[in-house]
């Protein structure tokens, strides 16, 4: 353990001073840490993050011990500006100035050449449903494989092992890029497979024990969560296990929904590699668009089943996120997105439901209204229950996935279709006529004189 000292305001000579251009400022610190890692050195420091600027101190130690040869680096950067750096050697014995300059020059050259490294990383994703029993290669550097254990039941909490070869600036850059790929993969699997994958992170939770009669005997805090047990994992070889089950899906469509009698494992659509290539080929703006829509879709899934109204609302938001950019499309709602991506008839059918998804979204977002009766008691045998909300949810869930997949297939380039105005019922016409009569009778008129009032 060493004390970390803030040297930003220390007076004295700083023999090394330079400025990193704005375009390279974001990556310079990553290349510096990568050079430290490659030399087997270590570092420690502190930083101050503010809205206007960031600054900090980084001490680089070339050996172990309480006071080894050290290079102190002080940096500051205004938001969106160049990075200013100064450094001086320290320690006992003091680090030579030539070695300090050579180290800084090596980090700068690494940044100029954009030196990266490539390594294997793996993670576990969990979801609920049928088990994942095969391997799926989404390219030569990304593989989704089965775990070593499965639950006894046909359906339940399942695990996918994700192996990837990742490139980045040092180990930190590799981990950052791998986490980005995992986030994108979770959204992609949610859209294409209709599952809600989450990263496995073992945590402490209460675990109860029961006897043969089902009576609790103990309850203790234990680590809960799946983990692979065995030797150190390496990047797998293609064909090391059987391929994942596949089914042909006619587009636009999502394939079979639910668990059928002939299903024993999780299947994927036959065109999943084609969809992944379309996803990775999207330009930055388009990829951000589908990621935001997919994130709303996964957020909706996380609301089920306790917050059913919020579940429906975020499905609507996921569809609305697929709108083209531009102020002219600001007032475009879910029905316009569905008509443009799937078809006019599907949009009209969704709009003609007894409970309107767009209305549920607006009332919940602006007033917090609950359309599913979350505060009402849940009765198992309710002969007078209204199935309208459940019918709307079934249609909305399927329509939302269809829109996400079709947007992905066309790369976000589609022709906007306008919906005709909904016809007004006879009752609404009578209400409009009655309202006009009332407004006509209540029209403002100038005040009358006292004589005229008396004559009346």
What pLDDT score does 451 carry?
A: 43
Where do the H-state alpha helices sit in 3-144? 22-39, 97-113
What are the helix and strand counts (H, E) for the chain?
Answer: 12, 14
* Backbone dihedral region for residue 371 (phi beyond 0: left; psi -120 to 50: alpha; all else: beta): alpha
Query: Is 4 inside any structural domain?
Result: no
CA-CA-CA-CA torsion for 238, 244, 250, 256, nearest 10 degrees?
-170
Q: What is the pLDDT of residues 145-164, one digit of tens each?
A: 999 999 989 999 999 999 99
Residues 324 and 222 in one domain: no
pLDDT(141) > 60? yes
Mean pLDDT across 356-384? 87
Residues 21 and 160 in one domain: no
Query: Is 321 inside any structural domain?
Result: yes
Closest CA to 123 of 217, 189, 215: 189
Residues 157 and 106 in one domain: no
Mean pLDDT across 100-117? 95
Closest CA to 234 of 185, 298, 164, 304: 164
Query: Is 382 inside any structural domain?
Result: no
**Total tally of structural domains belonging to the chain:** 3
Q: What is the pLDDT of residues 314-353, one digit of tens each?
A: 999 999 999 999 999 999 999 999 999 999 999 999 999 9
- Domain stops at, among 51, 83, 115: 115
Calculate what percentage of the chain has a pLDDT beyond 90.
Answer: 80
Residues 399 and 366 in one domain: yes
Residues 233 and 317 in one domain: no
Query: Is 104 inside any structural domain?
Result: yes
Q: What is the mean pLDDT of the chain?
A: 90
Residue 425: which pLDDT band, with cuts at 50, 70 and 90? low
- Domain stops at, among 63, 97, 115: 115
List the single range of 188-192, 311-315, 376-380 with lowest mean pLDDT: 376-380
pLDDT(448) > 50? no
Residues 396 and 290 in one domain: yes
Residues 216 and 152 in one domain: yes
pLDDT(450) > 90? no
Instruction: Report CA-CA distances (Å) from 205 to 90, 126, 200, 223, 227.
Output: 48, 17, 14, 6, 16
What pLDDT score does 38 carry?
A: 94
- Domain stops at, among 194, 229, 247: 247
Residue 422: which pLDDT band, with cuts at 50, 70 and 90? confident
**Domain limits for position 102:** 16-115
pLDDT(359) > 50? yes
Question: Could you tell me if 204 and 223 are in contact, meaning their C-beta atoms sit under 8 angstroms apart?
Answer: yes
Residues 214 and 313 in one domain: no
Mean pLDDT across 33-44? 94
What pLDDT score does 443 carry?
A: 43
Answer with the residue of higher pLDDT: 102 or 423: 102
Query: Is 109 inside any structural domain?
Result: yes
């Amino acid at each position: 353990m060493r004390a970390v000292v803030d040297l930003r305001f220390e007076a004295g000579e700083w023999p090394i001073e330079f400025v990193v251009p704005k375009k390279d400022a974001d990556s310079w610190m990553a290349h510096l840490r990568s050079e430290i890692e490659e030399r087997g050195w270590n570092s420690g420091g502190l930083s101050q993050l503010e809205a206007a600027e960031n600054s900090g101190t980084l001490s680089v130690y070339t050996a172990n011990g309480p006071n080894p040869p050290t290079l102190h680096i002080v940096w500051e950067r205004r938001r969106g500006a160049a990075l200013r750096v100064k450094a001086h050697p320290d320690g006992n014995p003091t680090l030579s100035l030539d070695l300090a300059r050579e180290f800084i020059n090596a980090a700068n050259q690494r940044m100029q050449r954009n030196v990266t490294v490539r390594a294997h990383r793996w993670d576990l994703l969990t979801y609920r449903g049928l088990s994942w029993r095969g391997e799926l290669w989404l390219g030569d550097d990304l593989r989704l494989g089965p775990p070593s254990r499965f639950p006894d039941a046909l359906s339940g909490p399942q695990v996918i092992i994700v192996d990837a070869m990742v490139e980045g600036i040092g180990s930190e850059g590799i981990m950052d890029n791998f986490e980005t790929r995992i986030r994108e993969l979770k959204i992609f699997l949610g859209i294409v497979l209709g599952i809600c994958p989450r990263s496995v992170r073992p945590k402490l939770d209460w675990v109860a024990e029961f006897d043969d009669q089902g009576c609790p005997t103990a309850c203790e805090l234990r680590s809960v969560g799946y983990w692979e047990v065995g030797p150190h994992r390496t990047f797998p070889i293609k064909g090391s296990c059987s391929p994942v089950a596949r089914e042909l899906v006619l587009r636009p469509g999502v394939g079979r929904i639910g668990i059928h009698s002939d299903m024993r494992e999780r299947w994927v659509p036959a065109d999943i590699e084609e969809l992944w290539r379309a996803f990775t080929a999207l330009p930055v703006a388009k990829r951000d668009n589908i990621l935001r829509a997919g994130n709303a879709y996964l957020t909706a899934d996380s609301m089920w089943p306790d917050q059913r109204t919020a579940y429906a609302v975020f499905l609507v938001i996921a569809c609305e996120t697929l709108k083209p950019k531009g102020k002219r499309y600001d007032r475009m709602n879910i029905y316009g997105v569905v008509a443009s991506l799937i078809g006019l008839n599907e949009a009209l059918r969704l709009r003609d439901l007894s409970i309107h998804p767009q209305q549920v979204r607006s009332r919940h977002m602006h007033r917090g209204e609950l359309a599913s009766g979350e505060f009402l008691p849940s009765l198992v045998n309710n002969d007078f229950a209204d199935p309208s909300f459940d019918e709307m949810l079934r249609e909305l869930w399927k329509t939302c996935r269809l829109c996400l997949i079709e947007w992905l297939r066309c790369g976000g380039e589609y022709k906007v279709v306008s919906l005709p105005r909904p016809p007004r019922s006879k009752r609404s016409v009578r209400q409009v006529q009655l309202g006009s009569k009332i407004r006509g009778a209540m029209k403002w008129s100038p005040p009358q004189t006292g004589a005229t009032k008396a004559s009346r």
